[in-house]
Amino acid sequence: MAQQQKPASGMMLFVAIILIAALGLGALYFFVLTPGDPDSNTIQRPQEGTLEQHTR
C-alpha cells in the first residue's frame, strides 16, 4: 500500500502545480494584459447606415 501512495501524492502535486499556474496566468491576463475600459472611445463601432446597407 505504501507504493501506491507515492505516485498518487506526486500526481496530486502535479495537478496542483498546473492549477496554480493556470490561475496565475489567468490573473496576469485579467489584471495586466486586458485593454482599458470597454466604454472607451477606442472601440470601433459601425458607421451609421452601414448595417442597413449590408442587411438588404
- Is residue 39's pLDDT more than 60? no
Q: How far apart are CA 14 and CA 20, in angstroms?
A: 10
Per residue in 1-23, pLDDT (tens digit) is 456 678 889 999 999 999 999 99
Residues, the chain: 56
Which of residues 42 and 13 earns the better pLDDT score? 13
